[in-house]
């Protein structure tokens, strides 16, 4: 198969497997989504979803979060990992949302990436899932699978994002990035598949003789 043929197969197969693409992080609005995505860095969505109910019970708006303290935030999010940095970022970005954006999460990549703790991936998730703007956030699942499917050379997540955007129609990016995550967790995990086990890997590369050594993000 050519790269274009592989991409077309992946797109169709994932759409068949996952016709619905629910956002895996529990939230009630754009602000709580932003906080949940920030917390998910180097932490599983499952763990984030266990932590956020207590956090959002304490504060679920920028105004309420800014009225708490870094210590109070950290006490709740400690199981998430990197809690000192994340608590400080949540507290400070809440203040900046009030000062710069009237307490609203901006629908703008640059403005989001200027917030503490919000990098390109987090901004891309918020823009795609909250505002419907085409984006292709690349996490470890997507980076790994794109290499196994030879849709990228895997140098880094920035290159993987560019390569995947070239492979797939823009209107499919938002759903597709979630579908790849779902598939990676269910069938093509780091330990469950090395590029030779799952259905998509075997279909794309039936003659592959050895596992793929993935380049880290």
The C-alpha angle 95, 99, 103, rounded to 5 degrees, equals: 75
Rounded Cα distance, 46 and 122, in Å: 17
Active site residue 121: yes
Q: Which residue has the tokens 């794309």?
A: 204
User: How far apart are the C-alpha atoms of 172 and 160, rounded to whole Å?
Assistant: 16
Instruction: Please tell me the distance from the alpha carbon of residue 102 to that of residue 172, in angstroms, as a whole number.
Output: 32
d(CA 109, CA 119): 10
Only one residue has tokens 């950290």, namely 74
What's the CA gap between 24 and 37, in Å, rounded? 10
3-state SS, residue 102: coil
Cα distances from 34 to residues 38, 161, 199, 203, in angstroms, run 6, 20, 34, 37
Q: Among 45, 86, 121, 163, which one carries the catalytic annotation?
A: 121
Q: Which two tokens stand for residue 109?
A: 């990549």
Could you say which of 45, 86, 139, 163 is catalytic?
139
By annotation, the residues acting in catalysis are: 121, 139
């Amino acid at each position: 198969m050519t790269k274009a043929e592989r991409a077309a197969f992946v797109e169709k197969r994932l759409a068949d497997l996952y016709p619905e693409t629910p956002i895996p992080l529990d939230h009630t609005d754009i602000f709580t989504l932003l906080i949940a995505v920030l917390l998910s860095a180097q932490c599983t969505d499952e763990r984030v979803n266990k932590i956020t109910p207590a956090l959002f019970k304490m504060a679920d708006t920028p105004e309420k979060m800014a009225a708490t303290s870094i210590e109070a935030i950290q006490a709740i999010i400690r199981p998430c990992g990197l809690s000192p940095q994340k608590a400080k970022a949540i507290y400070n970005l809440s203040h900046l949302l009030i000062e710069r954006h009237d307490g609203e999460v901006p629908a703008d990549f640059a403005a989001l990436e200027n917030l503490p703790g919000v990098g390109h991936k987090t901004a891309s998730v918020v823009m795609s899932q909250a505002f419907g703007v085409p984006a292709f956030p690349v996490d470890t699942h997507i980076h790994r699978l794109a290499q196994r499917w030879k849709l990228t050379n895997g140098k880094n997540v920035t290159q993987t994002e560019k390569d995947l955007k070239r492979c797939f129609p823009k209107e499919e990016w938002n759903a597709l990035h979630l579908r790849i995550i779902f598939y990676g967790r269910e069938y093509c995990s780091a330990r469950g598949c090395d590029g030779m086990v799952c259905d998509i890997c075997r279909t794309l590369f039936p003659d592959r003789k050895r596992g793929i050594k993935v380049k880290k993000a």
